[in-house]
Amino acid sequence: MDVRAIRYFVEVVQLNGFSRAAKSLFITQPAISRSIQKLEQELGYILLVRAPDGVKLTDEGEILYRYGVQLLELFNNMKKSLKERSGPLAGILHVGLPPVIASTYFADIIMKFSQSYPDIELKIHELGTRKMMDALLNGEVETAAVMLPFDNEDYDLHIFATDRLVLLVNEQHALFEKETVKFSELVNEPFIFFSDDFLINELVISACGIYGKQPIIAGRSHHLDLVTAMVKAGVGVTLLPDSMWNKSNSKGLSAISVIEPVLSYDLALATLKSSHQNRRVKLWHDLAVEMLKDQSH
């Protein structure tokens, strides 16, 4: 079976017409028609029929189209792999990192990668986990760090850490001296939330829901410095990752362990299963796995 014929067939289906496919592929319409006819003869089935508004797939055509799209993606990935294997180790690597964990876990990794591979330009995309999913799907990001849960079916995930949220209050707050606090004590507090697409917010919303409450939101920001500044100014309290607090440890603030329930989550490296994994992605992933393993010890 000719891969070119599969490409012609898929293009006709996706553009819903022979003439549009011919223009897209820069070949003549008769050439496409002959190629698809030959494909039908080889398989022994009619694959599509012309219709007033374009083309219509037969049942057999539906099957070929579904597998044909996958076949072309595999074929293109194979060509990319072969090309990159012999090419120079350079180019741009698009890495997605949520702002709430980027500096905590990845500052040293970024530095080490840049030193080890100076001809690769690192482009860091700071996105929340929800936007990260879309960025991976549309190719804007090639590899990312995400908070779980994440779509396990479409992504390869490598869990590298478990983190928990701690309560951050200023020194005028009644809870400042406490070492632990039950979440039931917080449901009427005004919260400083991170931006809408951060899954940390959902942990807090779910915990409030246990007590039949909606969180009181006094402010939002995706910048840690602004969140802590609002807490220090008495605008509200916030819940942030324990690992992040350990890195910042701002004066005039206290981080208190939250219990009943403990709000914890896993962090993972993520790549899209169906995408071509070039050498840059593999080098980043291998280095990140190695260094994150050392951080956890």
> How far, in Å, CA of 144 to CA of 163, rounded?
17
Give backbone dihedrals phi and psi of 99, rounded to 5 degrees, phi first.
Answer: -55, -30
**pLDDT tens-digit map of 18-66:** 999 999 999 999 999 999 999 999 999 999 998 888 899 999 999 999 9
Q: What's the N-to-C CA distance of the chain in angstroms?
A: 53
Question: How large a percentage of the chain has pLDDT more than 70?
Answer: 93
Q: Which residue has the tokens 């079976």?
A: 1
Q: What is the mean pLDDT of residues 116-129?
A: 90
Average pLDDT over residues 176-191: 95
Rounded Cα gap, residues 97 and 94, in angstroms: 10
Contact, 190 vs 218, CB < 8 A?
Answer: yes
Is residue 211's pLDDT more than 70? yes
Which position has the token pair 């009181």? 216
Q: How confident is residue 291, by pLDDT bands cut at 50, 70 and 90?
A: very high
Percent of the chain with pLDDT over 90: 59
pLDDT tens track for 71-109: 988 888 777 766 666 556 778 999 999 877 788 899 999
Average pLDDT over residues 262-266: 91
pLDDT of 155 higher than 70: yes
- The string of pLDDT tens digits covering residues 221-256 is 888 889 999 999 999 999 988 888 876 657 889 999
DSSP for residue 237:
B
Per the model's pLDDT, the better-predicted residue between 219 and 149 turns out to be: 219
- pLDDT grade, residue 275 (50/70/90)? low
Domains, the chain: 3-85 (1.10.10.10), 91-160+266-295 (3.40.190.10), 162-265 (3.40.190.290)
Mean model confidence pLDDT for the chain: 88
DSSP codes, 122-155: EEEEE--HHHHHHHHHTTS-SEEEEESS--TTTE
The CA distance from 113 to 281, in Å, is 11
What band does 182 get if pLDDT is binned at 50, 70 and 90? very high
